[in-house]
């Protein structure tokens, strides 16, 4: 992102993108709730989000000399989250491990948090618009 966006805006954008990824994963589990032998998928969302956001810049590569190339950019694009079979799940008679109620709850929670991130981004952009228009 450009320099006009602060770390908070970048973190919110990354969180919204990661929420979208989680939404797709949960939706896939729900869609396969009746598929025999399907194993519910899971990702370590909080860990992936922390790696993506990296507010303190601990994982950021820096240059030590002015002649070095600048590196960095959008960390969320570089972060690959690991998706694996959910080990905590009861297996039904047909071998399916999707807990539909749990997945629906996670989907609703994820949707609310995605919406909150988008609303906060909109507020930050409204502040920028206000500053550009000099409060008029």
What pLDDT is stored for residue 83 in this prediction? 87
Query: pLDDT by residue (tens digit) across 67-94?
Result: 655 444 444 445 567 888 888 878 888 9
Residue 2 in any domain: the answer is no
Q: How many domains does the chain have?
A: 1
Greatest Cα-to-Cα distance within the chain, rounded to the nearest angstrom: 65
3-class DSSP assignment, residue 83? strand
CA gap 34, 93 in Å, rounded: 11
Residue 81 in any domain: the answer is yes
Which parts of the chain have pLDDT scores under 50? Answer: 1, 70-77
Pick the closest to residue 100 from 51, 38, 21, 53 (CA basis): 38
CA gap 107, 98 in Å, rounded: 13
What pLDDT is stored for residue 65 in this prediction? 61
Residue 87 in any domain: the answer is yes
What pLDDT is stored for residue 40 in this prediction? 94
What pLDDT is stored for residue 87 in this prediction? 81
What pLDDT is stored for residue 54 in this prediction? 67
Residue 46 in any domain: the answer is yes
pTM, full prediction:
0.74
Residue 1 in any domain: the answer is no
Residue 94 in any domain: the answer is yes
125 touches 5 (CB < 8 A): no
What pLDDT is stored for residue 53 in this prediction? 72
Domain span at residue 18 reads 7-132
Contacts (Cβ under 8 Å, ≥6 apart) of 96? 32, 33, 34, 35, 36, 37, 38, 39
What pLDDT is stored for residue 1 in this prediction? 45
Helix axes 7-31 and 45-53, enclosed angle (nearest 10): 150
């Amino acid at each position: 992102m450009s320099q006009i966006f602060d770390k908070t805006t970048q973190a919110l954008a990354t969180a919204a993108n990661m929420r979208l990824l989680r939404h797709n994963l949960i939706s896939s589990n729900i869609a396969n709730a009746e598929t025999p032998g399907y194993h519910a998928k899971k990702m370590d969302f909080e860990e992936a989000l922390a790696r993506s956001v990296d507010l303190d810049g601990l994982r950021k590569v820096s240059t030590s000399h002015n002649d070095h190339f600048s590196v960095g950019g959008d960390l969320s694009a570089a972060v690959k989250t690991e998706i694996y079979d959910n080990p905590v799940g009861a297996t039904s008679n047909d071998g399916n491990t999707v807990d539909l109620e749990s997945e629906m709850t996670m989907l609703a929670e994820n949707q609310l948090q995605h919406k909150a991130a988008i609303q906060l981004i909109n507020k930050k952009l409204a502040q920028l618009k206000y500053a550009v228009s000099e409060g008029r």
